[in-house]
Structures are given as structure tokens and as C-alpha cells.
Structure 1
Amino acid sequence: MTGTAELIRGHWTRGEPGREAPQQLVIALYRWWVVAMALKIAGATWDICWHFKWLRDDLAPPHLINTVGTVIVLGLVVFHTYTGIGADRATLRWMQWGLGIFLVAAPLDVINHRVNGLDITAWSPSHALLYLGTGLMSIGLIRGWAQHGRGDRYQYPIACFLWFTVLDNFLFLNQHQEYGVLGLAAWDRGTPYAEDILLQFAADDLGRPLDRIAVEYFTLPVPDWVYPSWAVLTGLGTLLLARRLVGRKWTATTITAGYLAFRCVAWGLLAAADFPISTVPFFLLAGAVAIDLSFQLAARIRPLVGAVAVTAVSYAALSVQETYLAAPPSDYWSAAYVVVLLAGLWWFVQFLLDTEIGRRLTSRAQMTTGARESTTPSP
């Protein structure tokens, strides 16, 4: 820490993006990014179950934890921007736009709650801006670490964690249904998780008496096709991209196992503290394994065969989990269009990374954003 602080003081001078700096300093900056994103994820994980128990509070502990992470992110982006260290121009733009959108979305979300009362669904416009800002920051981090993390002994674990942040950011929306299905079951048992004032607030927001319909509106506000479709297309789509760009065997499985381990630890801690609990999407592990195995197929058939295998395995695992454990209600017929969209996504990724036309388009996009490095073939 002392050595890093001295390096920071010694390099606190104005510089252009991509400026040369000691590797020790650059690695330290990205490790602080890991700390910041871990705090933001921890705060967000606690926050969603908080809203299934109590009315919203701007200064609730989960918000404060998330704010600490955001303050660290702000300091890091300021350092990258002023000194030009640790990020080329394109990477810096991803970080700046992500932070900027997040900082605009946070007060908008507060205003939204003040004007509209309880913002019941996680799928609201103000929340979408928060997810978008976090996602753009994660893209910048992945890009920056790919350039500067080579040779570090924690290069692969940190790369997996950064992809974990993208996965968590996408799947955070599905947690509303994962908490909601158990919240509705608790109401049916006569032991609701939420306080009476929150349930009454939700009923008033719907304009009806406090009954099961009002509680279901609060706990499961989106159609049943959303949960499995979003999990496969965005969650497993993220893992597909991670496997392709990181290039190591079992990368998708490793990231998913880490995500599920985190969710299980969070589940235990929240349950011990008497907070509402959620289902955990264990079915994603089957889809991740299918993604890793699909990379053994020939490239020309991989998008179609892989999409069919991943979709079929994921939906089957979700059905097993719903039968023997617990899972949000799902429309399994949605697999018919999900497999088509996943195959298209898979083909598009492969087209950009494997074909000469795709590489030219990618190279041209990098030139227009001011990127200095050339595109390199993925493993």
C-alpha cells in the first residue's frame, strides 16, 4: 500500500490516455477496481432483499455500501482521466460514459421514487440506467485488463471476476422474480416476509385492497416468459462471450460456479439476519457447461448446434429446479424463439472475431474511437 501510494503521488501529472507507467501501479489500479465493484455488487445484493421487507430508505445500509464502491470508482476514473495511466482512449471512454450515466441515474431514481412512490419492478427506466452505467464500466474494465493484466499472477481470476460483474449486472433484474416467488409463497403460508406497511403501500399503488392479487403484483410483476428468456439470452450470452474472448477451457463454468457460490453465501448471510431469501439459479450451471463443451464442435456448426444444446439443457435444468427446489414461474414455450436469438447472437460473435470482414469492422470501430492497439485474433 505504501509503495502504491508513492507511485500514485509520483505520477499525478497530466498525461494522454495510454501513457506509459510502472506495471505495479497499473495492476494496483485494477485491483482497486475489483474492490470497488465488489462493494457495489454486495450493496446491490443486499438492497434488493431490503426492498422485499421494508419501504425504501435513501440512506439504507445497502445504499451506503454501494455508494462507497461508487466513490472509489469516481476516484479511479478521475485518476485514469487526468494522468492517462492504465487506460487507452477507448477504454477510458467506456469508463467515463458508464460512470456518467450511473451518476445521472442515481438522483433520477430517487426522484422517481419520490414522485411515483414504490417502484415495484426492477425493470423500471431509472433502474435500467443504473444497470447500463454499471455495464459500460465493466466493459471498459474488461478491455483495460485484457491490455494490462498479462503477466500478473491473478490475471485469469481477475478476468473471471470482471466478467462476473457483467453477469451479475444482467441477472440482477431476474432477482425480482427469484425473491418474488418465495415472497408470494410466504404470503400464502400466512408468514409474509414484508412488513404490513410495505404490503399496504403496494396494494395502494395498485388501487385495490390488500389481497393475494396485490401481493402477486408486487412480487411477480412481469410475464412468465421473461425469466427464462432473459437468463439464457443475457446471462448465458455473457458467458458465451467470456468463453470466446478469454479463450480458456471451462471459463464459462468457472464464472458461473463463482456466481452461484456468491449467491449461496449471500443467501446464508441474509437468511441468518432474518431477511427475505430468494431462489438461486442453479440451472445456469448446466447451460455454462454446455457452452464450454460446445467449443469442442467445428466452428461452422457451433452457433446452431451450440444454441440448441445450451437452450435445451438450460430449460430442462430450470424445469428440474422448479420441480425439486424452487424457481420463478416460467413459460417453457419461450425456448422456441430463445434458441433462434441465441444462435443469431452466437453467429454474430463468431463473425466478428473469426472472419476477415468482422475483423475489419472491429478495427475500423476502434480507429474511430481513437484506440491505439490493433485487433488481435482471439484464441
Structure 2
Amino acid sequence: MPDQRESGIPRSPIAKTVLFFRRHWQRGAPGTPTPEWVVRFSYGMWLTAFAFKVIGASWDMSWHFKWLRDDLAPPHLINTVGTVIICVLVVLHTYTGLACDRRSLRLMQAGLVMFLIAAPLDVINHRVSGLDLTAWSATHGLLYLGTGVMLAGVIAGWLRVSPPGRTRAVVLTALWAFFLENTFFPNGQQEYGILELRSWERGEPYAEPTLLEFAADDIGRSVDREAVIHFALPIDDWVYPLWGIGVMALILAAARHTVGRAWTATTVAGAYVTYRAISWPLLLAGDFPTSTVPFYLLFVGLAVDLAFRAASARFAVGAVLVTAFGYGALWLQSQLRPWLLGDALTESAPPSAYWTAPIVLVGVAAIWFATARSRRSELLAG
């Protein structure tokens, strides 16, 4: 492929877009040979789109713990910018066949269709069901699934068309960080919810009175502790660690395998935790509800990276390390009281059911083993 610094390739994204349409806007099949600058420009725009979606989604979660839903709220508009960019990118890949193969393109298309179906369904669900704040609702789940399938397509495409080297590894790591964020996102319900409950208990609720009244009316009660729990913490305590440790460990293992570099899992987890840690004071400064930050994810990533150093029985070593490091770090984080921050943060972790540890141990081992065995069978067949 020609180098992206070849003569005549502008630096400005707008100029590159104009150049792309002038040189490459023609019908082609997936897998059409693609200049390197087009590959990097396309996937750079994918990263930009997902950055908009992450920022919008993060703010949206906090927004919903303060005010009643608004279809045209600023977080929704920021998220929509990312969605529009994605729509344009999928159209470009589909029409030109550039910077993708058939498999990655189908995943991008399928994910976008899921998302575009889920978005209006979610609006209707809010109209019919009332508050529907929980991040674990069916329509929200379809939004996450659509975004996840899109991300899987982008990861597959980048693996297919990018040349080996540092840029390949950096972009792939960033894409896995977005994949982790999208999958972890519903756990934010508990991370924001526990601080929402504590704010109400001390008589200074983050939520506006109209939101609390609406949430209480939704279950036919006056505004009391039970109504606030129904609004802020409607999810069983076993969900948080099972999802946050078990499922995230499997995603981090997939990231470590595809990137193929030491400490990839720790880097991906660290990137996400760093983003959450940076957004926390920004939300606080803007007078928006804050959340606990999942620092324990760093230890889940570390456990995965250490497991990849094992010469044999990696799935068993990984399951033991993930369970020990993940649950140990979560428990330790829950014991710490960030008193220096006063009322801004009175809990450092959501309520968690630690009896789920054996389930994570067995589940991670079984899925990791099955995935590795399937991959080995594919290599032998190929």
C-alpha cells in the first residue's frame, strides 16, 4: 500500500474527505485494494465516531440521575453526532468496498441496523413505560448489542486491512477499549445508583424533585427510600460483579489475544478506568451526579495479562487469577472510604454479591477453554 505521507495527501480531515470522494467514490466489492492513507483515514473516523458516542453516553447516564428524560438533551445530541458519522462510514464501506472485507462489512451493517431499530423502540418504550431509567432494559440492551456488533466489525476490518506495526496495535487497543466501555456500560446503573441513594439519605438528592416524584408515582408510592431504591438501584447485587469481573475478563482476554502484545489487557482496562476517573471531576464541576469508578478493573486486566504468561492450562490459570484479583480488588475498593471528598463520594463501590465468585471462576474457565479449543480447531482445519 502507498504510504499515507505520499505526495498530494492533505492533513485536514475535510480536505481528505474531498480527496476521497474525488479519487475513490466508485462502486466496488468488499476487499477492494485500498491505499494506506484511506485505511488510516477511515479507521481514524471510526475512532472519532466512537469517541462522540462514549462521551454522549457517559453524560447521558449522569443526566438521567438528575432530570427527567428529554429526547433532545445535549448528551443525546453528542451521541447522535457519532451515530451520523458511523452511518456515513458504513455507506462508504458498502458502496466502495474499501478498507473492509465481506465479513467485517456484514458485521458493521448488521450492528448499525440493530442500533437504528433500537433507537426509536427505546423512545417508544420511554413513552409507554414511563421512567425506564435502568440501563438493563431490553431496548437499551439492543442499543449496546448493535454498537458491540459494529465494533466487532471494525475490529475485524482493521485486523484485515492494516499493515503490521505500532499503529496497528495502538488502533486495535483503542477499539478494544471502546468495546469494553460499551459492554461495561450497563453496570453504571449501580455505580451511579448507590451515590444517588446516599445523596437522598443525607437530604441532598442529586435528582430533581420532579424526577423523584415521577419515579415514585411509577410504582404508586410517595417519595420514600423504597421509591428511591426502585429508581436508583433496581438491579440485584449479583449482577454487578458477575458482569464487571467475569464478562470483562473474557473481553480483555480477547483483546490480549488479538493485539498480541504484553500488558494489552491492563492497558485496555487502564484506558477505560482513566477515562472514568477524568470524567468524574468534570461531572462534579458541572453539578451533575457522579458515580463510583471501577478501579478494580485494572486488576482484572492484570490478571489476564499474567495468565497469558502461563505456558499451559492458560484458561485455568486465568480463571483463578481473574477471580482472586477481581473480587479481591473489588472488596478492597468497597472498604475504602474516600473521606477527603466529603459528601461528593460517600461510597467507593456499589453493593456486590461476593458469592458469585465461584460462578465467575467456573464460567471464565469454561468459556476461555471452549474459545481456545475452537480457535485451535480452526487453525488445524485451515
Say yes or no: TM over 0.5.
Answer: yes
The CA distance in 2 between the partners of 1:217 and 1:276, in whole Å, is 17
The CA distance in 2 between the partners of 1:223 and 1:153, in whole Å, is 42
Q: In structure 2, what is the equivalent of residue 359 of structure 1?
A: 379
Q: 1:344 aligns with which of 356, 361, 366?
A: 366
Q: Secondary structure at the match of 2:303?
A: helix
The CA distance in 2 between the partners of 1:287 and 1:188, in whole Å, is 32
The CA distance in 1 between the partners of 2:84 and 2:186, in whole Å, is 23
Matched pairs, number: 359
- Residues 1:120 and 2:142 are matched in the alignment: no
Alpha-carbon contact 1:184-1:219 (below 8 Å) kept: yes
Alpha-carbon contact 2:101-2:160 (below 8 Å) kept: no
Q: In structure 2, what is the equivalent of residue 302 of structure 1?
A: 314
- Residues 1:135 and 2:153 are matched in the alignment: no
- Residues 1:311 and 2:323 are matched in the alignment: yes
Q: CA RMSD in A?
A: 1.3
Normalised by the length of structure 2, the TM-score is 0.92
Q: In structure 1, what is the equivalent of residue 231 of structure 2?
A: 218
- Residues 1:271 and 2:284 are matched in the alignment: yes
The CA distance in 2 between the partners of 1:72 and 1:245, in whole Å, is 26
One-letter code aligned to 2:315: P
Offset at residue 305 of structure 1 (A): 2.1
Normalised by the length of structure 1, the TM-score is 0.92
Q: Which deviates further from its counterpart, 148-157 or 255-264?
A: 148-157
Offset at residue 233 of structure 1 (A): 2.0
Q: 2:85 aligns with which of 58, 62, 72?
A: 72
Post-superposition Cα deviations, 1:325-351, rounded to whole Å, max 9, x if no partner, equal 410000101101111001011112211
Post-superposition Cα deviations, 1:240-263, rounded to whole Å, max 9, x if no partner, equal 111112110000000111111100
Q: In structure 2, what is the equivalent of residue 290 of structure 1?
A: 303
Offset at residue 316 of structure 1 (A): 0.8
Q: In structure 2, what is the equivalent of residue 155 of structure 1?
A: 168
Alpha-carbon contact 2:32-2:97 (below 8 Å) kept: yes
- After superposition, where does 1:8-19 map in structure 2 within 5 Å? 8-19=21-32
From the superposition, tell whether residues 343 and 266 of structure 1 become closer, same or farther in structure 2 (CA, over 3 Å): same
One-letter code aligned to 2:277: C
The CA distance in 2 between the partners of 1:331 and 1:283, in whole Å, is 15
Q: In structure 2, what is the equivalent of residue 258 of structure 1?
A: 271
Alpha-carbon contact 1:4-1:25 (below 8 Å) kept: no
- Residues 1:53 and 2:50 are matched in the alignment: no
Post-superposition Cα deviations, 1:220-249, rounded to whole Å, max 9, x if no partner, equal 111110000001222121001111121100
- After superposition, where does 1:71-220 map in structure 2 within 5 Å? 71-151=84-164, 153-220=166-233
The CA distance in 1 between the partners of 2:290 and 2:163, in whole Å, is 39
The CA distance in 2 between the partners of 1:205 and 1:360, in whole Å, is 57
Q: 2:56 aligns with which of 37, 43, 54?
A: 43
Offset at residue 4 of structure 1 (A): 4.8
Alpha-carbon contact 1:241-1:349 (below 8 Å) kept: no
Q: In structure 2, what is the equivalent of residue 366 of structure 1?
A: none
Percent identity (aligned): 52
Post-superposition Cα deviations, 1:122-164, rounded to whole Å, max 9, x if no partner, equal 1111001100100000000111111222246532221111001
Show structure 1 runs of 5+ residues with no match.
Answer: 364-379
One-letter code aligned to 1:359: L
Post-superposition Cα deviations, 1:82-121, rounded to whole Å, max 9, x if no partner, equal 0111111110000000000100100000000011110121
The CA distance in 2 between the partners of 1:286 and 1:180, in whole Å, is 23
Q: 2:352 aligns with which of 330, 333, 339?
A: 330
